Chain A
Amino acid sequence: MAHPTQLGFKDAAMPVMEELLHFHDHALMIVLLISTLVLYIITAMVSTKLTNKYILDSQEIEIVWTILPAVILVLIALPSLRILYLMDEINDPHLTIKAMGHQWYWSYEYTDYENLGFDSYMVPTQDLAPGQFRLLETDHRMVVPMESPVRVLVSAEDVLHSWAVPSLGVKMDAVPGRLNQAAFIASRPGVFYGQCSEICGANHSFMPIVVEAVPLEHFENWSSLMLEDA
């Protein structure tokens, strides 16, 4: 989750998300350079005392300001395409989880070995334990083993939702009647928060997603416990 007054991205828990952070810095730097240059030119134009109305053409500067933006665009496009293809790499997930969006909660199904399924509702504000995060906590978390490739199949039961966890670099729309696949690897243990990212009705802001990445033994203990409870 974000700390108070945080403006930038959350720290990445996924290698592709790290790449996205670096690409964002790169693109933002280019954008800031261009904006500063344009702002400087505007102030220079407005405050100049020079007056010459009769410049008709100038081939050199026109060549420069045609070639240079093309070069800048290539500099932005190459890392962008690289990350795009990186995200679509063939991966071999160890685990497949189905995340189904309902109005207004998520349900997770772990059906690789046994049939484990549970709903994940937001904890209402008045029921929070002291220190829990308002509008972000859920009663059941989606537990995944850390450092394992996980495939999440996202769909919806009623209306459009979107399963998003920024730290893991995942945002995938939940479309009724369609299975969308997202993959991630949690490179560090921890709890990662996200929120539904497609307007879905009155409680759209109140159906968060919590992913807990734990070592494999803990994951096995947890899934056994959940199966007993079910």
Chain B
Amino acid sequence: FVSHNALPTYFLFASFTDCFSPSSKRQTEVRGVAKVEDYTLPAYFDRRESPLPDIKFVQQLSPDQKSLKEKEKGSWAALSKEEKIALYRISFKESFAEMDKGTGEWKSVVAGIFFFIGFTGLVVLWQRNYVYGDVPHTFDPEYKQKEVQRMLDMRINPVEGFSAKWDYENNAWKK
């Protein structure tokens, strides 16, 4: 008869590699692991939202730092303020205040923007003097005045625009 109480088969395997066939397990042990790249190892980072990096900042401790680490194993009340700060700097590169401060790079960027705007202004000035010809005679001040008078006489934009701002009784612009 069929047994319905058989254990699920994965409980019988002791380790992950046991799930594969014995021949593939032997291949992994024979071949070894591929070359370890730097970016696959745990790295140090300063980030406000992840306050505990994977590794300490200083990996190779100098003899002073080693002795400090030994002292840290005792009572922390015995540590002076400078020693506590030194221990902090072993584990972390920047404090939160230093992290948040910013680099001041924006000042260089804004300076560069102003510089190029100024340079463009010089180019435009040169162009106006040496490349462009004269404007048409309709830009003369007397001509412009006649144009304005004509626009007022023709009641151009009388509702809210141009002629609406002229006082026709007193012949002056409205205050």
Contact = CB atoms under 8 A, between A and B. Distances in A.
Interface in A166-194: 188, 190-191
Contacts of A191: 154, 156
A51 interface: yes
Q: Is the interface of A mostly helix, strand, loop or mixed?
A: loop
A125 B161 CA distance: 26
A52 B49 CA distance: 7
B146 A130 contact: yes
B104 to A, nearest CB: 16
Interface stretch (A5-13, A65-73, A103-111): A5-13
Interface in A118-136: 125, 128, 130-134
B49 A51 contact: yes
B158 interface: yes
A82 interface: no
B151 interface: yes
A76 B65 CA distance: 69
A10 B157 contact: yes
A97 to B, nearest CB: 22
A1 interface: yes
Interface size class of A (residues with CB under 8 A): 20 to 34
A91 to B, nearest CB: 23
Interface string B35-71: 0000000000000110000000000000000000000
A10 B136 contact: no
B74 to A, nearest CB: 35
B151 A128 contact: no
A192 to B, nearest CB: 9
Interface in B118-159: 136-138, 142-143, 146-147, 149-151, 154-159
Contacts of B115: none
Given A1-B156, A11-B157, 5 more contacts: A3-B156, A6-B162, A11-B159, A131-B143, A191-B156
Interface of A: 1-3, 6, 10-12, 49, 51-53, 125, 128, 130-134, 188, 190-191
